[in-house]
Structure 1
Amino acid sequence: MKKLFPLIITLLLFSCGSKTEQEIVNVNQQVKVFTTMGEFVIELSNKTPKHRDNFIQLVEKGAYDSIAFHRAIPKFIVQAGDMFSRMSPEEELELIKNEHTLPAEIDTSLFHKKGSLSMARIANIDLRSSGTHFTVQIGSVLSDSLLNGYEKSINRKRKLNYWLKMEQNQKVLNRYVEATQIGNWNNEIVSHLTDSILSIEGDPEGFNYYTIPQHQREFYKTEGGNAFLDQLYTVFGEVIQGMDVVEKISQVAVDEKDWPLEDVRILTMELIEK
């Protein structure tokens, strides 16, 4: 018994100080972002596994290393992930042809509060995300009046997408998709179709009106964010350290396309061990 006692103590200490596989899975992955203007840490949500895993794979491959922030807008967002910012024209064309997208993972508990991380996207009724472009929300403090207006705007866009995906509207959908192609955007047709659809009385059968949850309203009214993007883009994480660095990046001088006049680059990203 005397020989077994030290072994039992050792096993107990080991079991108390280590995490089980399930505990490790449940811990949200954190990523440290090193930029030319400082560092910040983001935490990825386990509620959006496809976006989480895609981002982790990009970090592991070094895909974001040396990428520039190509949009910097005070009280709105900073955006990065444009692989063109380090490519030749030939490489850009190849990437456009093969760029992957992700299925939407829109969760009502994840919203565009200040510091949240979401994927950008091009116009598409399935709300599929870009495979690489991400934004960090900054936004501003919002009033109830603004939030009420954003709620209506969100539902107008949701109603449009819902109506277009109804089987009996396939011909209209085809026209809409054709008019929203990259490099072929036809604003006149898009506006006409949108106005015609939204002028139809009542909501389509099965359409559920979205209401901004009260606790999210309170956050927007005190801390701020970009509520008008909710339910239209996938939020998949948030900044948990270094938000001051993000805000500093958003305030640099930019050109007419919101691209910083002096490059602000991601040096590298590192996964923080769980």
Structure 2
Amino acid sequence: MTTATNNKTSIKAFWASLLLLSVLACSPKEVDELVVISTPYGDMTAVLYDDTPIHKQNFLKLAKNGQYDSVIFHRVIENFMIQTGDVSTGVAGESVDYSLEAEFLPEKYIHRKGALAAARTGDAVNPEKKSSGSQFYIVDGEIFDEEGLKARAERRQELKLSGLFARMLRSERFPELTEKVEYHRGLSETDSTYDFGLAYKRLIFNSIDVIEKEFGDQTDPGYPAWAKEVYATEGGAPHLDGQYTVFGQVVEGLEVIDKIAATKTNLRDKPLEDIRMHVKVITLPKREVTKKYGIEYPQKD
């Protein structure tokens, strides 16, 4: 090894030591734990939000315990999202048996490109919209103009009303709705050209008064100006806002999302070849995270 090489090694060691000392010099409140998600397509670094503490601490716990290691991306849809976190597919070998309380903050955190959000079961069986204990997705998304956002708001409204309508059917307190559904189902069974899906959708929207009587006003709030700007420039999946907990953001490696999202999949959106991840936790001073990535932390009282 040459003297020049020794000097370079010494310089690198010096800066590494300096960084470590700067981290150690910070109080626990002044540092943050970020996650690095490593894949065959590259690494993604993500910040987890302090004001979604249930999801943040749960994710960090799973990562530190190695439960995310070797877990596959089991659902991938280009221009939408890449989903992972089923720990039974990794070294853990079994799924978690708990769910997390929702932490919705759509006024701050939206489904912009790179957003980390918790997966969950549907509204019909999960009216409180509780999150999966381990599964999450990362938004790939697409760009939306004003007309596109209007269509996404309509889609969000449709998804929300569909969940509420399904809950009403399951409760058995609304036999008249069940009768109407079965009427249209019967027509579809006797006439192969009858579009049951369209009829069911119309029935839901025609039942808006009954739904609102049971669950209150369901007017869609639309999108604030700042969110419109994000979706028009960065892109995302706006119809999911306010329906799933967004608890973090990829700040490095956005191109990795695109690469994974573009992989070939089967009819169930599962990649034909397993894409596995490993997750590690790194510590950085919060001021450095803010300076480098523009992440603003909640002010403590």
TM-score between both structures, scaled by the size of structure 1: 0.74
Contact 1:163–1:204, Cα closer than 8 Å, also in 2:
no
Q: Tell me the CA shift for residue 175 of structure 1.
A: 4.7
| 1:207 equivalent in alignment to 2:217 | yes
Amino acid at match of 1:147: L
| 1:115 equivalent in alignment to 2:114 | yes
The residue correspondences of 1:108-187 to structure 2 (distance < 5 A) are 108=106, 109-123=108-122, 124-159=126-161, 172-175=169-172
Q: Tell me the CA shift for residue 36 of structure 1.
A: 2.2
Q: Tell me the CA shift for residue 63 of structure 1.
A: 0.6
Q: Choose 34-43 or 107-116, whichever is displaced more.
A: 34-43
**Residue of structure 2 in register with 1:220 after alignment:** 231
Matched residues in 1 for 2:276 and 2:165: separation?
41
Matched residues in 1 for 2:166 and 2:79: separation?
33
Task: Give deviations 1:201-245, integer Å, cap 9, x for gaps.
Answer: 557365363221111011111111111111111111010001112
| 1:19 equivalent in alignment to 2:26 | yes
Which secondary structure state, in structure 1, belongs to the residue aligned with residue 250 of structure 2? strand
The residue correspondences of 1:1-274 to structure 2 (distance < 5 A) are 18-24=25-31, 27=32, 29-86=33-90, 95=95, 99-108=97-106, 109-123=108-122, 124-159=126-161, 172-175=169-172, 196=203, 198-202=205-209, 204=212, 206-207=216-217, 209=219, 210-266=221-277, 268-274=278-284
Amino acid at match of 1:48: T
Which secondary structure state, in structure 1, belongs to the residue aligned with residue 45 of structure 2? strand
Task: Give deviations 1:136-177, integer Å, cap 9, x for gaps.
Answer: 101111121121122133234445656888xxx6xx45359x
Q: Tell me the CA shift for residue 196 of structure 1.
A: 4.8
Contact 1:72–1:258, Cα closer than 8 Å, also in 2:
yes
Amino acid at match of 1:60: K
Amino acid at match of 1:38: G
Matched residues in 2 for 1:31 and 1:49: separation?
15
Which secondary structure state, in structure 2, belongs to the residue aligned with residue 112 of structure 1? coil
Matched residues in 1 for 2:150 and 2:235: separation?
15
Q: List runs of 5+ in structure 1 lacking aligned partners.
A: 1-13, 177-187
Query: Do the aligned partners of residues 175 and 116 (structure 1) sit closer, same or farther apart at CA in structure 2, a change above 3 Å counting?
Result: farther
Task: Give deviations 1:37-75, integer Å, cap 9, x for gaps.
Answer: 221101101121111111011001101101111122221
Q: Percent identity?
A: 30
Q: List runs of 5+ in structure 2 lacking aligned partners.
A: 1-20, 174-184, 186-196, 285-301
Which secondary structure state, in structure 1, belongs to the residue aligned with residue 71 of structure 2? coil
Contact 1:117–1:238, Cα closer than 8 Å, also in 2:
yes
Contact 2:36–2:282, Cα closer than 8 Å, also in 1:
yes
The count of residues paired between Structure 1 and Structure 2 equals 234
Contact 2:116–2:248, Cα closer than 8 Å, also in 1:
yes
Matched residues in 1 for 2:162 and 2:263: separation?
36
TM-score between both structures, scaled by the size of structure 2: 0.68
Matched residues in 1 for 2:101 and 2:203: separation?
28
Which secondary structure state, in structure 2, belongs to the residue aligned with residue 263 of structure 1? coil
Which secondary structure state, in structure 2, belongs to the residue aligned with residue 68 of structure 1? strand
Matched residues in 2 for 1:235 and 1:20: separation?
27
Matched residues in 1 for 2:61 and 2:85: separation?
14
